[in-house]
Amino acid sequence: MGSSVAVLGVLGVGALFVGLFVGPGLGVGELAELFAGNGLLAGIFQLRLGRTLLALLVGAALGLAGAALQGLTRNPLADPFLTGVSAGAGVGVAVAALVGIGSATTLGYLGRQGLAFLSGVGAALLVWRLSGGGRFGRNGLIVAGVVVNATLSGLILVILSWLPIFSQGAVLGWLWGDLSTPYIRWWPMLTAAVLTVGGGVYLFWRAPALDALALGEEQAHSLGIDLRRGRRGILLAAALLTASATALGGIIPFVGLVAPHLVRVRAGAGHRRLLPLTALTGAVLVLVADNVVRLAVNYLSLPSLPLGAALALLGGPYFFAVYRKMGKKQLL
């Protein structure tokens, strides 16, 4: 396990260096000018720094949420979008565009983030209610999440059809997952960071409950775990993490699915080790993917390459490989 952590650390440091110092406008050759106080290069560095921190924050939140949901449902294919939170956050962003709340200012960004966050958490609460408040078990959460996600996705399409063409493009760009916005603001990122740290601390505190739930409902109950209260708290924490990440970076798929599996192979299923390592793995995955997307667009002259689409192209085959490996009977 120690070697795996070391490899992950080296990969993370390398991705951080590439994110900050490699690319058009600011390369390794300009580092001396940057630290000498060149204002233009310092401005470029600030833009790169915001995007890099955003990638790390979004990846960590999605990784934590994925690990929590897989433990909660005992489903190896569960990920943050199982809860319908991503579609809920998408509704919030679409409504923000409909009522004219933009993102070119800090206040506008906070308004859009607030609507996305509230609608995302509202979607999670709806899933909880439709699943009978946890009385229908883990399968009830999965079915309710699929229903809510499909319904809210349809609502997003309806709202998009009401928007002007230029607003449609902005909302679609966000829905595809994008960290390249030039309007990255520090206050929204700070808000999301507080929520991510708080959600991570709560899940770490509830790690024994997640370990007990992995043994089955009867065993967890015999260990004194309040199943309904435990499920509700873990689902809400995963929803907060997903909503905060989605409100900032859009819908970024498969990170919450892949990161826990990569960690579980080496670190085992104990959530006190799994959760922090999954947060780190998710952060590195998103940063590496964003670096690849950014450099591909710049150096291959691609018209665009949404981060969500790139991760979907990689995550789809991985999803199928997990499905084939686990077998249908073990998925639910």
- Gap between the Cα atoms of 60 and 164, Å rounded: 34
Specify the higher pLDDT residue, 133 or 15.
15
Q: Give the separation between CA 164 and CA 252, rounded to whole angstroms.
A: 25
The pLDDT tens digits for 234-288 are 988 998 898 888 888 888 988 998 899 889 888 888 899 999 999 999 999 999 9
pLDDT tens digit sequence for 279-313: 999 999 999 999 988 888 888 877 778 888 888 88
Q: Supply the pLDDT for residue 214.
A: 74
Nearest to 200 by CA among 26, 59, 27, 45: 59
Among residues 280, 288, 282, 277, which one has the least CA distance to residue 254?
Answer: 282
User: Distance (Å, rounded) from C-alpha 167 to C-alpha 165?
Assistant: 5
Exposure string over 296-308, b if 16+ CB within 10 A, otherwise e? eeeeeeeeebbbb
**The architecture CATH gives domain 24-31+52-324:** Orthogonal Bundle (1.10)
CA dist., res. 167 & res. 97, Å (int): 7
- Is residue 88 exposed (0-12), middle (13-18) or buried (19+ Cβ within 10 Å)? buried
Tokens 């002007």 -> residue: 164
Q: What is the C-alpha separation between 167 and 102, in angstroms, rounded?
A: 10
The domain locations on the chain are 24-31+52-324
C-beta pairs of 221-224 under 8 Å, 24+ apart in sequence: none
Rounded to a whole number, what is the distance in angstroms from the first to the last CA of the chain?
29
**Residue 329 confidence (pLDDT):** 46
Given a cut of 60, whether residue 227 has pLDDT beyond it is: yes
- CA distance linking residue 306 with residue 290, whole number of Å: 9
Contact 82, 112 (CB under 8 A): no
**pLDDT single digits (tens) 166-178:** 778 778 877 888 8
Q: What is the token pair recorded at 207? A: 């790690």
Fill in the amino acid letter for 178. D
